[in-house]
Every structure is written in structure tokens, then in C-alpha cells.
Amino acid sequence: MPSVYLYIPNIIGYFRIIINFIAFAVCYSNKTLFAILYFISFVLDGVDGWFARKFNQASTFGAVLDMVTDRVSTACLLALLSQFYRPGLVFLILLGLDITSHWFQMYSSFLSGKTSHKDVKHTGNWLLKLYYGYRPFMAFCCVSCEVLYIILFLFADVKSTSLLSVCRGILNQSPLIVLVFVSTLIGWAVKQLTNIIQMKTAADACVVYDLKRSK
């Protein structure tokens, strides 16, 4: 039996890290190459999951590696966007929400004895169940979010650009670009709402755990 470190999905995870390093190394000098590499890394996020299920190589290490890579890459891109746009605080708030929401979810899942943070069948929120229970919906939200950030990165050609001005400019592009932009904006909004619900639900689970422990 191969070492968990050498599972196919985990090897793909290592490649994702290398690709992200290269992408952010060239983000200022070659924005197109950055966008391509970043998107490839994002696509590989789905590929490693397929391999994990195909070859029965799902692992706790792989799940953690996958989530950390996702969170760090998204955080770096949001930090980058905060330098290009004004108000940059918008992107830093999104960064904080993304990390906080997933950290709360991971920790509350650990306290509940669950093997995956995606196990939300006991939650009462329908959107959270839909997000983690229906893969196409989750994929739409995640792809929309990352593609939207890539679009904003590609259109930010001047430092300290107004976010609203760039969004208005994108809406004046070709119908195809406008369609992609609006579609990703919808998926992005749903994902942020899901992050907020996830954070609140996970926080409630932590409080319930504390109350049970104090009795």
C-alpha cells in the first residue's frame, strides 16, 4: 500500500502548490500567465477529488492539504486585488470571511466527531445543505467566485482603480463578457451568503458544545 503522502490526489495537491507559487511569482509581470496558471490550479482542485474517489484514496491529510491550498491561494488573490482596487478593504473583508467561515466549520466538525467539514446533513439550513449536498451547485458557486476574481484582476490595469468604475466598464464589454461577468457575480454572491450562514451555524455548534461540556 502506498504512503498517504504518495496518493495520487495528494501528488496533484503538491503540483497545485507549485503552480500557485509560479503564478504569484509572475502576477505583476505577466497577468495573463498568472490567470491561466491560477485557473489550472483551481481546476486541479476538482481533479484531485475525482482521483480520490476513483482510486479510493481519500485521506484526512488530503482533505486538509486541499482546503489549506484553496484558502491560501484565494487569500493571496484577494490580498492582491486589495492593492489594485479602492476601496481595498472590500477584498480584505472577503478574505477574512472566507478564512473565518471555513475555520469555524472545520473546528465545529471536529468537535462533532465528523470526518468531513462537508457533512452538514444535521444542519437546519437548506442553502448549506444544497451547497455541500449538490456538487454542481457547489461547483457553480466556487467557479463563479474564482473566475470573478480573475476577471477583476485582468481588468485592473492601473493601481488604485475604482472597483465600481471597473465593474461599469466590464458591463460595457461584449455581450459574452457581460454574461460571464453577471453569471459569476450571482454565483459569487451566493457563495458569500453561504459563507456567512456556515460561519453562524458552525459558531452555534461550538456554543452548543460548550454548554454541554459545562453541565
Sign of CA pseudo-dihedral 149, 155, 161, 166 = negative
For residue 149, what is its C-alpha cell?
A: 476574481
DSSP state of 87: S
Active-site annotation holder among 45, 70, 204, 210: 70
What radius of gyration do the chain's Cα atoms show?
18
Phi, psi of 88 (to 5 degrees): -70, -20
Distances 145 to 66, 108, 186, 192 between C-alpha atoms, Å: 17, 24, 9, 9
CA–chain centroid gap for 86, Å, is: 22
As a whole number of Å, the end-to-end CA separation of the chain is 45
Phi, psi of 21 (to 5 degrees): -60, -45
In contact, 46 and 12? CB cutoff 8 Å: no
Is there a catalytic annotation at residue 157? no
Rounded CA-CA distance 41/151 in Å is: 16
The residues annotated with a catalytic role in the active site are: 70
